[in-house]
Structure 1
Amino acid sequence: MTKISNKEHRALLIDDQFDFDKHSIIQTAVAVESELTGINVKEFEDELNLQHIVIKSKLAGFAEADRAKLHKLLDILYQQQAFKGDWKAFFKVENALLSKVLARRKGIPISLGILVLDFLKECDFDAQGICFPSGFIIRINLKNEVVYLDPFTGELPSWELLELKVRGQLGNHARLTLDMLNPDDNKTIIMRLVNVIKAAYIQADELELALLCCDILLRIDPEDAYEVRDRGFLFQQLECFNLARTDFEFFIEQYPKDPIVNLLKQQIEQMNLDTNIQVIH
């Protein structure tokens, strides 16, 4: 990971003009986290680089990035260093923020996946992230085969197990297709991460920080009416009724036949009533 100072990270404005290919996924993710929490980027990078040194020293005897080296790397991460998925508190904010995951060795597929993807690339593996239906997974291209890694468990699931995961997420009639295993670009992965962080903040009732996640997502894709709608619900919960009404009306204009439109119209009527009551009072 190329070192970037705190000042430079703050200058990384993630928006629709941002060059996601110019920066690694982990660099962009740390820039997002710095905006959300104000973490010390240098401290994070120092800890991550220390991990790189330790891992690569333990893999020094492997000449090429083959299956044997991969199994050793996974043993280092998931056995020796005890990285693992947090089954008990899946949606906690600390499981989504990379700095917390690196420090605690616990996380969820997208946060663990971004870290493991960084470790894989540092160890010369050809690997890409996939926003899989059941959770983030990693595609690893070895010399004569392609394998998939579940970063939540540290396992290399078979096609059959991947299909079971798909059916568990999408229903018993769903089937695994090759399209589901296509690698995603950095932009898609970062947007998935920010959405997960936003959901965690909402569950933690930290709505202002969830709104900041909405702002980041809308900077990346200003025309995303569904994100505008979600922001409207957050504004409504914060009793910013004029802002919520504007967001709901924008969504209704963009998608007048969406099933949620009637609910949004009811919400607008209720907010109008609440606003009038406040003015009279």
Structure 2
Amino acid sequence: MTGFEETLQRFRAAVTGPADEIPLARAALLIARSEYPDLDTDAGERRLQDMAETLDQQLARNEAREHPRRVVQTITQLFFRELGFRGNTDHYDDPRNLYLNWVLAERRGIPVSLAIVFAEVCQRAGLDVQPIGLPGHVICRYQPAEGDPVYMDVFHGGRLLSEADCQLLVRNLFGARVPFKPHYLGALTPRQTLQRLLHNLKAGHLQRGDEERAARVIDLLLAIFPWDLDEIRDRGMLRERLGEVDSALSDLEQYVQYRAGARDIQTISETVRSLRRHVRGPAEG
């Protein structure tokens, strides 16, 4: 078993089971381990726990827990000013922004990775903070025991957002093509958060022409959603370009079998026929 296969096995075990029991931080650190095979994921979790204990102490010192405004001030002071987490605006497309060990070390990331760290630290300190998956941008929501939720843009220094601000953010990104829907303000599940992170990571590797790493990311995506036929197709096409003929054929045959009405079915079917000729020889068609 290769190092990646071991990590994939551990990741699959982490993301299998009831949705509310999936350990988001551990799974995100295992994604990082797929790139950094010597990564100590336990050390990453300890770092998050240390931050949470610091936050807990500051909340107690500020007598903040019963006062939502003080809670927000305390967590933003710690996370963005004292610890120095910030959005990586200079190198947004760098795949390292998606690896939690790098984000924890460099205190930089993109919205989804910063949201994971922010939410995990707050949750470990006993606060109800969840990642929120707006189209094109992940933010965080703090829900006090009483009162309205507080939305924070962790990529922009914890800037507070109203619901109207969230609507404007989506409109600025997509215009009228994506009308705002109330469910956009619902919390992402751990699986959805990991999927979002992996989609960003896949896109980053493809943008750099790194098909081998992109294919490994799809392996991780399929550990979460095994029957995502679009990902199976994409992995098959990458494997075909990487010369992994048997694996490519297996993926693309699944796609053709279960997606007979897809727009790209003719193109994929032709690729399957070509791969079959390669594997079995011209006489078998």
The Cα of 1:18 is off from its aligned counterpart by: 3.4
The residue matched to 2:21 in structure 1 has which SS? Answer: coil
The residue matched to 1:91 in structure 2 has which SS? Answer: coil
Question: How many residues are paired up?
Answer: 271
The residue matched to 2:154 in structure 1 has which SS? Answer: coil
> 1:71 maps to which residue?
73
Match of 1:263 among 257, 264, 267: 267
Once residues 252 and 241 of structure 2 are traced to their aligned partners in structure 1, the CA distance between those partners, rounded to angstroms, is 13
The residue matched to 2:142 in structure 1 has which SS? Answer: strand
User: Does 2:28 align with 1:29?
Assistant: yes
User: Does 2:46 align with 1:43?
Assistant: no
Match of 2:237 among 226, 233, 241: 233
Provide structure 1 residue ranges, at least 5 long, that are not aligned to the other structure.
1-6
- CA 31–100 in structure 1, closer or farther in 2 if over 3 Å, else same: same
- CA 173–240 in structure 1, closer or farther in 2 if over 3 Å, else same: closer
> 2:248 maps to which residue?
244
- CA 115–257 in structure 1, closer or farther in 2 if over 3 Å, else same: same
> 1:56 maps to which residue?
56
Match of 1:213 among 217, 239, 264: 217
Deviates more, 1:157-166 or 1:225-234: 157-166
User: Which whole-Å deviations, capped at 9, do the CAs of 1:119-178 have from their partners, x for residues lacking one?
Assistant: 221333212222221222222112211121222112122223211222234432533221
User: Which whole-Å deviations, capped at 9, do the CAs of 1:30-63 have from their partners, x for residues lacking one?
Assistant: 2333344321123323333332333333332224
User: Which whole-Å deviations, capped at 9, do the CAs of 1:192-216 have from their partners, x for residues lacking one?
Assistant: 2222223233334443332222222
The Cα of 1:69 is off from its aligned counterpart by: 1.8
User: Which whole-Å deviations, capped at 9, do the CAs of 1:185-244 have from their partners, x for residues lacking one?
Assistant: 222222222222232333344433322222222232222111101101211221223432
> 2:3 maps to which residue?
none
One-letter code aligned to 1:197: L
The 5-angstrom pairing of residues 168-179 of structure 1 reads 168-179=172-183
The Cα of 1:11 is off from its aligned counterpart by: 4.8
The Cα of 1:86 is off from its aligned counterpart by: 1.1
Deviates more, 1:263-272 or 1:199-208: 263-272
- CA 233–88 in structure 1, closer or farther in 2 if over 3 Å, else same: farther
Deviates more, 1:96-105 or 1:214-223: 214-223
The residue matched to 2:130 in structure 1 has which SS? Answer: strand
Once residues 15 and 224 of structure 1 are traced to their aligned partners in structure 2, the CA distance between those partners, rounded to angstroms, is 19
One-letter code aligned to 2:78: I
User: Which whole-Å deviations, capped at 9, do the CAs of 1:14-43 have from their partners, x for residues lacking one?
Assistant: 377434422432122223333443211233
Deviates more, 1:35-44 or 1:138-147: 35-44
The Cα of 1:75 is off from its aligned counterpart by: 2.3
Once residues 217 and 27 of structure 1 are traced to their aligned partners in structure 2, the CA distance between those partners, rounded to angstroms, is 15
Q: Over aligned residue pairs, what C-alpha RMSD do you find?
A: 2.9
Once residues 138 and 72 of structure 2 are traced to their aligned partners in structure 1, the CA distance between those partners, rounded to angstroms, is 19
Contact 1:56 1:123 (8 Å CA) reproduced: yes
Match of 2:96 among 94, 97, 113: 94
The 5-angstrom pairing of residues 125-274 of structure 1 reads 125-142=127-144, 143-153=146-156, 154-268=158-272
> 1:81 maps to which residue?
83
The residue matched to 1:156 in structure 2 has which SS? Answer: strand
> 1:4 maps to which residue?
none
- CA 167–63 in structure 1, closer or farther in 2 if over 3 Å, else same: closer
- CA 207–14 in structure 1, closer or farther in 2 if over 3 Å, else same: farther
Once residues 84 and 56 of structure 1 are traced to their aligned partners in structure 2, the CA distance between those partners, rounded to angstroms, is 21
- CA 267–172 in structure 1, closer or farther in 2 if over 3 Å, else same: same
Once residues 272 and 9 of structure 2 are traced to their aligned partners in structure 1, the CA distance between those partners, rounded to angstroms, is 37
TM value normalised by structure 1: 0.83
Provide structure 2 residue ranges, at least 5 long, that are not aligned to the other structure.
1-5
Once residues 12 and 269 of structure 1 are traced to their aligned partners in structure 2, the CA distance between those partners, rounded to angstroms, is 34
Once residues 43 and 90 of structure 2 are traced to their aligned partners in structure 1, the CA distance between those partners, rounded to angstroms, is 28
The residue matched to 2:135 in structure 1 has which SS? Answer: coil
Contact 1:90 1:108 (8 Å CA) reproduced: yes
